[in-house]
Amino acid sequence: MARSKRKVPAINGSSTADIAFILLIFFLITTSMDTDKGLKRRLPPLSPKEEQQNDIEINNRNVLQLLVNRNDQIAVLRTSSAGESISMIPLQELKDHVKEFIVNPANSENLPEKEVREIPGLGNVETTTSSYAISLKSEVETSYQMYINVQNELLKAYNEVWNETALKHFSRCYDDLPAAQQKMVVDIYPMHISEMPLSDLKH
């Protein structure tokens, strides 16, 4: 006598989609993703329209032009009465180069002009002209890592300048100062960096 075949009970799959959806939500919530952190940079306030229309003449000595080409090389462009000159500098020397430009400790004729400016809370302070600028230009083919490295060196230069200025005027490190005194330090050496991409740098 033949055995009767038992029927295998069917699996109820009606809730499979719900379980998969719940698992998806769980992993989305609990998984951490690496994100690029942006650089902190405060933009200057907008000037009135009448002020924007006025052309501002900037002395060549007050502008530091940094060029980064597609080969991740850093060049300093100097403009003088004799014409333009380009010198290459390694990344390791960029911070000190920028720091010297910001402060001009020896009052060099090739670096920004010096002036006496009134700083609220400190009075008259001799410092670099407020019209100085650091111009950073890079080719679109410049590597992202090199761009970040250059930005970091610029920020390091400013941090060292601010820290030394804080020690000079308040005998405390910049990070240990209250917000009001930090503002005084930044008013002495404000951050003036302009950035733009270039597609036709010579290399």
Query: According to the model, what pLDDT value does residue 86 have?
Result: 85
Q: Are strands 83-89 and 74-80 parallel, antiparallel or unpaired?
A: antiparallel
Distance separating alpha carbons of residues 34 and 57, to the nearest angstrom: 44
DSSP string, 2-30: PPPPPPPPPP--TTHHHHHHHHHHHHHHH
pLDDT at 182: 95
Scored b (16 or more CB within 10 A) or e, 20-50 reads eeeeeeeeeeeeeeeeeeeeeeeeeeeeeee
How many Cα atoms sit within 13 Å of 16 on the Cβ side?
A: 4
The tens place of each residue's pLDDT in the chain, 203 residues long, gives: 555 556 656 666 666 777 787 888 877 787 765 554 545 555 445 545 544 444 445 688 899 999 999 999 999 987 655 667 788 999 999 999 999 999 999 998 888 999 999 999 999 999 999 999 999 999 888 999 999 999 999 999 999 999 999 999 999 999 999 999 999 999 999 999 988 776 544 44
| Whole-number pLDDT of residue 41 | 54
Q: Tell me, what DSSP letter sits at residue 62?
A: G
pLDDT score of 184: 95
Give me the pLDDT at residue 156, please: 95
Q: Write down the pTM of the prediction.
A: 0.70
